[in-house]
């Protein structure tokens, strides 16, 4: 094998490693943004719950069902945050690619999982604010 081929193979491996690390960093940043977004939704739900409790104290309305629904939504948001924080990180080592394998142009398959944002579904119904 010529020196040029060895150089090309080494460059391919290095670019692959850089690409993998960049993807890890991007995924980590995306998770941080998702968590921050969910925390903001929790704050909104706490505000809604506070308004509802205030209404409950100052009126004769029975608002227990609405309070329980908001509390369930808050719990669902906390569960989603816990899932994101404890999600397994892709820290497993990639197998070393030999020079012969590096010469192939076959794409590397990666697992992609679609995440459902169940917390958003739980917070879609908000109580109407009465003044």
Quote the crossing angle between the two packed helices 64-86 and 3-58, to the nearest 10°: 160
60-70 residue pLDDT tens: 888 999 999 99
Q: What's the CA gap between 82 and 104, in Å, rounded?
A: 41
4-33 residue pLDDT tens: 999 999 999 999 999 999 999 999 999 999
Q: What's the CA gap between 70 and 38, in Å, rounded?
A: 14
pLDDT band at 1 (very low <50, low <70, confident <90, very high): low
How far is CA 28 from its chain centroid? Answer: 9
Average pLDDT, integer, range 85-96? 58
* Prediction pTM value: 0.57
């Amino acid at each position: 094998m010529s020196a040029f081929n060895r150089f090309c193979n080494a460059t391919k491996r290095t670019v692959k490693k850089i690409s993998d690390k960049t993807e890890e960093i991007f995924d980590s940043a995306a998770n941080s943004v998702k968590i921050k977004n969910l925390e903001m939704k929790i704050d909104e739900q706490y505000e809604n719950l506070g308004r509802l409790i205030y209404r409950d104290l100052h009126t004769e309305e029975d608002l227990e069902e609405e309070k329980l629904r908001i509390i369930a939504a808050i719990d669902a948001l906390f569960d989603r945050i816990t899932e994101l924080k404890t999600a397994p990180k892709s820290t497993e080592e990639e197998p070393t690619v030999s020079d012969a394998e590096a010469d192939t142009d076959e794409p590397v398959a990666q697992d992609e999982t679609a995440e459902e944002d169940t917390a958003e579904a739980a917070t879609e119904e908000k109580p109407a604010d009465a003044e």
